[in-house]
Amino acid sequence: QVQLVESGGGFVQPGGSLRLSCAASGSIFFINAMGWYRQAPGRQRELVASITRGGTTNYADFVKGRSTISLDIAMNTVYLQMNSLKLGDTAVYYCNAVVFRSASDYRSSNPFNAWGQGTLVTVSS
């Protein structure tokens, strides 16, 4: 099993900042990439940002310029620094990890897609 434990969500006023953290543990041989998704009420889950083991990042247009994703591979932890938060950023934020759970899975290119339980971010005045 692969466990993802998120932290850092909470209540913040518009224009404020939050830093989300997500630590991966369990049956992990190799982490290929980690990222953050979000889901607002009545909307589909959408990508916020992702980062590969090699450091390649990808950001959704709605966070470009005001968020930074980083990966501490030694700690199996991904971070998302969010600044200039807007009302529309209110959502449950989910951590995602694409991992290989064994050497055999790695050799056969059989990754596992893990999800965290989600952490609520509320932006309100």
CA dist 6 and 37 (Å) reads 12
| pLDDT the model gives residue 71 | 98
C-alpha separations of 88 from 14, 42, 120, 125 in Å: 10, 13, 13, 12
Give the residue from 27, 38, 18, 125 showing the smallest Cα distance to 81.
Answer: 18
At residue 3 the predicted structure's pLDDT band, cuts being 50, 70 and 90, is very high
- Can you tell me the mean pLDDT for 62-66? 96
- Can you tell me the mean pLDDT for 109-116? 96
CA dist 61 and 47 (Å) reads 10
| pLDDT the model gives residue 32 | 97
Q: Which two tokens stand for residue 53?
A: 């083991």
| pLDDT the model gives residue 59 | 98
| pLDDT the model gives residue 94 | 98
CA dist 90 and 39 (Å) reads 9
> Mean pLDDT of all residues in the chain?
97
At residue 105 the predicted structure's pLDDT band, cuts being 50, 70 and 90, is very high
| pLDDT the model gives residue 113 | 97
| pLDDT the model gives residue 82 | 97
| pLDDT the model gives residue 98 | 98
- Can you tell me the mean pLDDT for 36-64? 97
| pLDDT the model gives residue 49 | 98
| pLDDT the model gives residue 15 | 97
